[in-house]
Amino acid sequence: MRVVVIDSGGANIGSVLYALERLGVSATLSADPERIRAAERVILPGVGAAATAMARLRALDLVEVIRGLRQPLLGICLGMQLLYDSSEEGGTECLGLLPGRVSRLPGGTGLRIPHMGWNTLQIETDSMLLAGVASGAHAYFVHGYAAPVTADTLASCEYGSRFTAVCGRGNRFGAQFHPERSATTGARILENFIARGEARAVA
């Protein structure tokens, strides 16, 4: 299984590679377009600001490469947000692989932004990516922006408002939380992605 983790410059890249290694997967970190196109599974990690991340992908000539992938693609944290049309953060145009605009979390009484720490998942739609993950499973989040709940939402989470925690359309997936830091829940999702890489189709 050829797995490539895109060298997007995120601080979580090392922990993603280590999490895959714990599953017995030797992934390659690369920004080489041909190596990414040749992979059987592609992971787009990300931490930081949407505008900065998109600028890096453009500088590496990877925007059209990622848009053109036909193999399973998993965006993690900011990497998931980049799958959508745009982000309110800096008025950023993103990859446009999923419809919707990422917005700042509203917060609320006693709720600090960014949303940081463990929270629970609510399963919204059956998906191979979430096989073995039940509603109420815990995952570790660190983010100030989030995607809306849409037809592509596989699992949601509540923090001041309801947002997409896991998304999927065809071969494109995202996890707003950090699976590499989410214990058995995260390990299961990564394992499912590597093993199956399929979602139910969305019209």
Task: Write out the catalytic residue numbers.
Answer: 77, 178, 180
Strand, helix or coil at 174?
strand
Sequence-distant (6+) residues with CB within 8 A of 167 are: 80, 83, 98, 147, 150, 152, 153, 154, 173, 174
Q: Using only C-alpha atoms, what is the Rg of the chain? A: 15
Residue 4's DSSP bridge partners are 28, 42
Helices (H) and strands (E) in the chain, counts: 6, 14
- Cite the DSSP H helix spans in 23-171: 33-38, 50-59, 63-67, 78-81
What end-to-end distance do the CA atoms of the chain give, in Å?
A: 29
**Antiparallel, parallel or unpaired: β 172-175 and 153-159:** unpaired
Q: Which amino acid is at 58?
A: R
